[in-house]
Structure formats: C-alpha cells, structure tokens
Copies of this chain bind each other. A is one copy, B any other.
Amino acid sequence: MIIIQIVNHPKTEIDMARATALEKSRSHDRIVHQASLLFRENGIEATGLSEIMTAAGLTHGGFYRHFKSKHALVAAALTHAITAAVSDMAEAETAADKRAALGRYVALYLSPEHVQNRAQGCPLAAMQSELAHQPPELQKPLEDGVAHVLTVLAAAIGGSAPSPKAQALLAHLMGAVSLARLSPPNVETETFLQAARKTAAEIIA
C-alpha cells in the first residue's frame, strides 16, 4: 500500500520513466549475462533463445522487446564478456608493479580453475572456432574486442600495440587453455599448465 502511494506521488519526468526503464534495463542485463554464460558453456548455435530467456527468469516471447535478433544478442554478450575479461586485466595495466600484476593474471589464466570454468572464463578461448563463423556484422565488435585485449596486454608488458610480444602471449594463453580442455582431466594437466606458464614468462621477458 505504501508502495502504491509512493508510486502515485508526483515525480519528475526522469524519475517516472526511471522506474520501468530500470526494470527493463535489469532484464536486459540479465539476458545478456546469462547468454554470455551459456554461449561459452554450450556454444552459440547450441544455445536456444528460450534456454537463455528461461535462465534470465523470463519466457522466450519477450526476447524481441530487447533485441532485434539472436545475432544482436550474440554481439552484446560477446562485448559484455570481453569487457569483463579486460577489466580483470585492467589491474595489471595500472598497478604499480606492472610485471608482477601481469604475472598474477597469467597465473590465473593458466590455472586448472580456468580450464574447468569455461562459462566464466575467457570468451575467446571458449568460443574461438564458432566466432570465426559469425556473420559480418559481428566481426567488427569481435575484432575491436581482440584489439582491446591486445592493447591492454601490450601496456602491461610495457609497450604499445601492435606488440608482437602481446600477440604471442595471448596466442599462447588461448592455445594452452584450449588444448588442456581437449585432453581428459588428469594429473598431467598441472604439469602441462606449468610448462605453459614457463613459456608465457619467457615471452614476456
């Protein structure tokens, strides 16, 4: 009741719009977030819209209030995931001891946890081959995202893009996690990741 009274109180135009707009914005964010998890976990094509909407607590029909197509959602989810990944790296870029921070990031990337946690891990490693088959309108967000990651890595290493070292490092990180995911989880995994960390350190040096 109190809520209703409050709602009925006069508000500024911005406030009035904000109430519903906020709801929609929250739904929007939930859809994007769940999509980014499911795409990484099960693949883009293998994930249906209804699965995503259900995960977001909605039904499939409401989807087109938020996106004009599945492709548009893929773009949003990809950008979302890359942005999150870059902000993980941002620490390495701004930290006092860049090298130490970068080392911590590399150790996190080349950890067994990351190998197992595909849904919350690096979107490039998780969706690599599928990303190459996306339609042209997705290529630009993708290429921009890759370029962004490379810029941040280059800065953390101590140079500026285009940096062959940053490229070699990213390639090595992605390849190592991908290969680890193609092999059965066993005791060798850790020694393999150790070898990958060693190589990564040599690339940075």
- Residues of chain A at the chain B interface (Cβ within 8 Å): 42-43, 45-46, 118, 124-133, 139, 142-143, 146-147, 162, 164-165, 167-168, 170-176, 178-184, 188, 191-192, 194-196, 198-199, 202-203
Q: Could you list 23 A-B pairs, sorted by A, with CB under 8 Å?
A: A42-B133, A43-B129, A43-B133, A127-B129, A130-B130, A146-B183, A147-B183, A164-B192, A165-B195, A167-B196, A168-B192, A168-B199, A171-B172, A171-B179, A171-B180, A172-B175, A173-B175, A174-B178, A174-B179, A175-B175, A175-B178, A178-B178, A199-B203
Taking CB atoms, residues of chain B closer than 8 Å to A181 are 132
| Contacting residue for A171 out of B43, B139, B176, B184, CB 8 A | B176
**Which residues on the B side are within 8 Å of A164 (C-beta)?**
191-192, 194-195
Residues in B with CB closer than 8 Å to A132 are: 118, 181-182
CB distance from A153 to the nearest CB of B (A): 12
The answer to whether B179 and A192 touch across the interface, beta carbons within 8 angstroms, is: no
A143 touches B184 (CB 8 A): yes
Q: Give me the 6 closest cross-chain CB pairs, A-B, nearest first.
A: A175-B175, A164-B195, A171-B175, A171-B176, A174-B175, A171-B179
Nearest CB of chain B from residue A142's CB, rounded to whole Å: 7
Give the distance in Å from the alpha carbon of A129 to the alpha carbon of B183 in the complex. 13
Q: Which B residues are in CB contact (< 8 Å) with A184?
A: 139, 143
Q: A127-B129, A173-B175 are in contact. List 5 more A-B contacts (CB 8 A).
A: A139-B184, A142-B182, A167-B196, A168-B198, A175-B176
Of the residues B129, B182, B202, contact of A202 by C-beta under 8 Å? B202
Residues of B within 8 A of A128 (CB): 128-129, 178, 182
Of the listed residues A125, A128, A133, A174, the one surrounded by the most CB atoms of chain B closer than 10 A to its CB is A128
With A and B bound together, what is the CA distance between A180 and B188 in angstroms? 28
A192–B147 Cα gap in the complex (Å)? Answer: 13
- CB-based contact B143/A167 at 8 Å: no
